[in-house]
Structure 1
Amino acid sequence: MKWSTRAKMAMKAAVAGWKGQGFDFSSWFGRTFWGIDNSKLATNETIFSVISRLANTISSLPLKLYHNYDSVINPSADVLINMPNQNMSGFDFINKVEVSRNEHGNGYAVIMRDIRMQVEAIIPIDSTYVTPFLNTDDDTLWYEVRGAGGTYYFHNMNMLHVKHITGSSRWVGLSPIEVLKNTLQYDKAVQEFSLSEMEKKESFKLSYSANVDEKKKKEVTDNFRQFYKENGGILFQEPGVTIDEIQRKYVASDTFMSERITRSRVANVFNVPVSFLNDTEGQSYSSNEQMMIQFVNMTVLPIIRQYEHEFNRKLLTEQDRKAGYYFKFNLGGLLRGDTAARTQFYQMMLRSGGMTPNEVRRLEDLPPKIGMAEELWISGDLYPIEHPINERKGGEKSEQTTKE
């Protein structure tokens, strides 16, 4: 790639946030959303359920910018957390990107910057319009975005990209729905077969003895046809005539087993406990807390770490990162347990000097108290941790015994 072409592409990426036709996506993003969605997300209940759960969980987690464990705010954090763009909130933004990541394997969002290269807006992009590629001159990663107003090129520092697993030779994540293609086809075939079997009417077999003449056969047939048409009534079985029901081959348990297999495979691909898809058979968890611990450690944590690394690398400057700034999702809400478990944890942390009363109140969404609630306490029974030992209960006697 020639230096002039590289400079041109770099300029396109740098001015992605400038106002004006073609640079604010007014001609690319402006379209009316209507019609019928025939994607697997809109037509398969199991896929809709697992993607909804993952997207809602990730977008509901509290996200903050920290500086050496203290929550702070700067312009980039304000854009990301409060208003990524003029059309959506921080919840909507992460929810849309996470849905795209789980549906197509990749979630993209363009970082639009002002003339001072500060983050001005973050806009999710339909993954079907984006193609990553490597510049052969310097091996830098670029993204090609095809829109109605033309084709745009963005350097990787101006494109948030979260994805499912990739190989060493790919930059595009694998789509879980593509992995489940055969499973979903099988599930659809079973559902269509079950539906067609249930829509069939009852079938019968009429048998006549050798002594039944043609006139009598016609009368019996007409009588039975009228009975079948009216779906009930009185049917007189003539001598020499036998009526047998033809048994169906459809068994409801077959559909149930097929659905269980589908739920199990979907849960495996999306890496969630199968109980999240309302399948509790064979569940080995002794408590809901253990199930949530597995869900957080094996599913949620790898996802949010990918988001955090993208935010830290592309929304913070090198100076910010070296100064100790970082984005972090708070997983505490998913691991809080029930009231009894939280009470026991808080008591242990308070009595061992691990947390202050105000830190406990913040975790329970209560306003902090002034004064001694900001100090650490230890059991003795409960003194400020800096309190002199000789001023505690029994402290003078203990000190005298030590001297003797």
Structure 2
Amino acid sequence: MKGEGYNFSKWFRGGKSIFFGSAGGTLATNETIFSAVTRLSNAMASLPLKLYKDFSPVNTSVSDLLANAPNRNMSSFDFIRTLETHRDTSGNGYALKMYGSNYQVESLVILDPARVQPVIEKDTLDLWYEVEGDKGRYYVHNMDMIHVKHIHTNGYKGISPLAVLRNTIDFDEKVRQFSLDTMDGAVKASFILKMATHLSTDKKKEVLANFKNFYQENGGVLIQESGVEIDPIKRDFMDTKVFEVEKITRSRVATVYNMPVHMLGETEGVNYNSMEQLSLDFVQNTLIPIVRQYEQELNRKLLTPKERLRGLYFKFNVNALLRGDMKTRGDFYFKGVRSGLFKPNEIRAWEELPPEKGGDSLYMSRDLSPIEERKEPGKGVSGR
């Protein structure tokens, strides 16, 4: 429940959250879904997350919490990746705000989404979360719970992507099992020996033994004698359409997770001129909506209205995924400096280099004199 100094300690047993669980066994049995969830969760966890004010990073207890250790058992990377993994499997990721004695957020603890259910309070119409604990049922106000989700129909609980993909997963598993059964039940022989005459049982065994020994001792080379025909047995497991099914599975998984199919290993029909276009496609069409949801959830529930009015906001830096190769970055930085868009020290910070004296000024083209000098009479072009 919501309230100053509310104690959630009875929800825990032995220092470990009883709700922190695995979000679906399908990840361990389907490589395509595992790849998609890994790609999304790693991408979100790799994005730098900072608290800003007027475009400049600021440090507070809450920003330090998110940037380093949201709880005593997890780093920021593990926290975001696990939350995103839950969102991409069950459709919902939950993290409970844990308060200290002065009602300051001290930690964020991830809950098992299978034990959390959004509900609407009848009189106030406020959103609460019904949590099944080890000692009963608890209710948490929506401002005390970080909740990221997939698309939904009621505005409160996301739809599970695995539920959407259930038919695809079942079909894929059946085709794979059929393929394995076919391989196990197939004839193990590799050649057919045709003799011109009928041979006794003992003679057949002798010929077969000689054939095997000669094949092994001569590196797989066979000599076809007169009266003997050697036909290799061809095995074509493509009849099971395994590869076609895998392509269909990749396409459907990519569609459900709203990500380019090439991110799951599909290269057929993919035509991109550069790695920048590949990254841009993934960032614009896949990550931006997810990033925006995280930012708004953190701004709303980890910042007070006064802090937001002062201009504080959380922001993921997606530019880290769009840096391109050395040549592309160099051209971009060069044009940015010459057009007065970037300061040299800003670029040095992006490249993780220390600032230099004079690098905090904006420059213009031609003689690249500081903009301030051009505004002063008698200096630069304006003084001519």
TM-score range relative to shorter protein: 0.7 to 0.9
Q: 1:146: which partner in 2?
A: 132
Structure 1 range deviating more: 79-88 or 247-256: 247-256
1:272 corresponding residue in structure 2: 259
AA aligned to 1:349 is G
Matches within 5 A, 1:89-238: 89-167=75-153, 169=154, 171-199=156-184, 200-202=186-188
Distance in 1 between residues matched to 2:232 and 2:336, nearest whole Å: 72
| Displacement of 1:315 | 0.3
3-state SS, counterpart of residue 112 of structure 1: strand
Distance of aligned partners of 1:223 and 1:137 in 2 relative to their CA distance in 1, 3 Å threshold: farther
Change (3 A) 1:135 1:250: same
Shift of 1:208: 12
Q: AA paired with 2:49?
A: L
Matched ranges for 1:247-286 at <5 A: 250-251=237-238, 254-286=241-273
Would the aligned equivalents of 1:102 and 1:176 in 2 still touch at CA under 8 Å? yes
What are structure 1's unaligned runs of at least 5 residues? 1-8, 399-404
Deviations 1:102-129 (A, max 9, x none): 0111100001112332111100001011
Inter-partner Cα distance in structure 1 for 2:195 and 2:77? 72
The number of aligned residues is 376
SS at match of 2:138: strand
* Aligned residue number for residue 289 of structure 2: 302
Retained in 2: the 8 A contact 1:27–1:149? Answer: no
Task: Give the alignment's TM-score, normalised by structure 2.
Answer: 0.85
When residues 33 and 105 of structure 1 are mapped into structure 2, their CA distance, relative to the original with a 3 A threshold, is closer
- What's the CA shift for 1:150? 2.7
Distance, in Å, in 1 between the alignment partners of 2:331 and 2:111 is 46
Q: d(CA) in 1 for partners of 2:313 and 2:74?
A: 23
2:316 aligned to 319, 329, 345, which one?
A: 329
Alignment of 1:78-93 (within 5 A): 78-93=64-79
- The higher radius of gyration belongs to 1
SS in 1 for 2:52: strand
Cα offset for 1:32?
Answer: 12
Q: Post-superposition shift, 1:394?
A: 6.1
Q: Secondary structure at the match of 2:373?
A: coil
CA contact (8 A) 2:23 2:85 kept: no
Q: 1:244 to 1:68 in 2, by over 3 A?
A: closer
The 1:30–1:65 alpha-carbon spacing in structure 2 relative to 1, beyond 3 Å, is: closer
Q: Distance in 2 between matches of 1:349 and 1:171?
A: 43
Task: Give the match for residue 62 of structure 1.
Answer: 48
SS at match of 2:266: coil
Q: 2:230 & 2:349 partners in 1: Cα distance?
A: 76
Structure 2's unaligned 5+ residue stretches are: 217-221
Q: Is the 8 A contact 2:373 2:380 kept in 1?
A: no
State, as a whole percentage, how many aligned pairs show the same letter: 43
| Worse-superposed segment, 59-68 or 253-262 | 253-262
Work out whether 1:348 is the aligned partner of 2:335. yes
Match of 2:219?
A: none
C-alpha change, 1:208 and 1:100, in structure 2 (3 Å) is same
Residue range with higher mean Cα deviation, 78-87 or 324-333:
78-87
**Distance in 1, Cα, partners of 2:248 & 2:164:** 15
CA separation in 1, counterparts of 2:301 and 2:174?
45
Q: Counterparts of 1:141 and 1:33 in 2: how far apart (Å)?
A: 22
SS of the equivalent of 2:122 reads coil
User: How many angstroms does 1:270 deviate by?
Assistant: 0.8
Two-structure CA RMSD over aligned residues (Å) = 3.5
C-alpha distance in structure 2 between counterparts of 1:296 and 1:112, whole Å: 32
Measured in 2, the distance between the counterparts of 1:158 and 1:32 equals 16
